[in-house]
């Protein structure tokens, strides 16, 4: 029976790593579920404290991933208009798949800044900040998923 948990946990780990890069898949939560699967083996692989800590890390990383584009917009001089535009662009981008998720916050921040009274040149900097925020979130997700995979594959047997 242990092999079932190992197999499905391993599959979730691989999908979680891919999901850290592909915006449509929730990478770290899938990796966490894969890590959690090792608890159902005959001999649990981790302490419950370890699992709870990684659950909290997964939640924080997932939330930060959604916040980083807005944080990047603000950090690069974005106004309230740009931050709202970034958030709206993210939500609208969800309906356009991977390109929408990547470009939505950028376009939203750009349009928000323009609507707020900035010209295109001034609006590009906060929009770039939203894109950089997206990249930082992606790297953070990838690192978290890779660390969970390291623990998973190191404790399979």
Q: What is the mean pLDDT of residues 72-80?
A: 90
Summarize pLDDT for 92-131 with one digit per residue, the tens: 998 998 899 889 999 999 999 999 989 899 999 999 999 9
Give every CB contact of residue 51 below 8 A, 6+ residues apart in sequence.
35, 36, 39
Q: What is the pLDDT of residue 156?
A: 79
Q: What is the pLDDT of residue 102?
A: 86
CA 133 – CA 113 distance, rounded (Å)? 17
Local structure of residue 117 (DSSP, 8 states) = T
CA 152 – CA 157 distance, rounded (Å)? 10
């Amino acid at each position: 029976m242990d092999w079932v948990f190992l197999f499905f946990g391993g599959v979730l780990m691989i999908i979680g790593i891919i999901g850290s890069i592909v915006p449509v898949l929730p990478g770290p939560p899938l990796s966490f579920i894969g890590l959690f699967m090792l608890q159902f083996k005959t001999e649990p692989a981790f302490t419950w404290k370890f699992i709870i800590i990684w659950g909290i890390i997964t939640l924080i990383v997932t939330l930060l991933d959604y916040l980083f584009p807005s944080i990047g917009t603000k950090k690069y001089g974005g106004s309230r208009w740009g931050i709202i535009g970034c958030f709206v662009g993210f939500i609208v981008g969800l309906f356009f798949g991977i390109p929408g998720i990547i470009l939505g916050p950028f376009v939203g921040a750009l349009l928000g800044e323009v609507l707020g009274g900035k010209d295109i040149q001034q609006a590009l900097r906060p929009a770039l900040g939203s894109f950089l925020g997206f990249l930082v979130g992606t790297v953070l997700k990838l690192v978290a998923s890779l660390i969970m995979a390291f623990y998973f594959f190191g404790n399979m047997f």
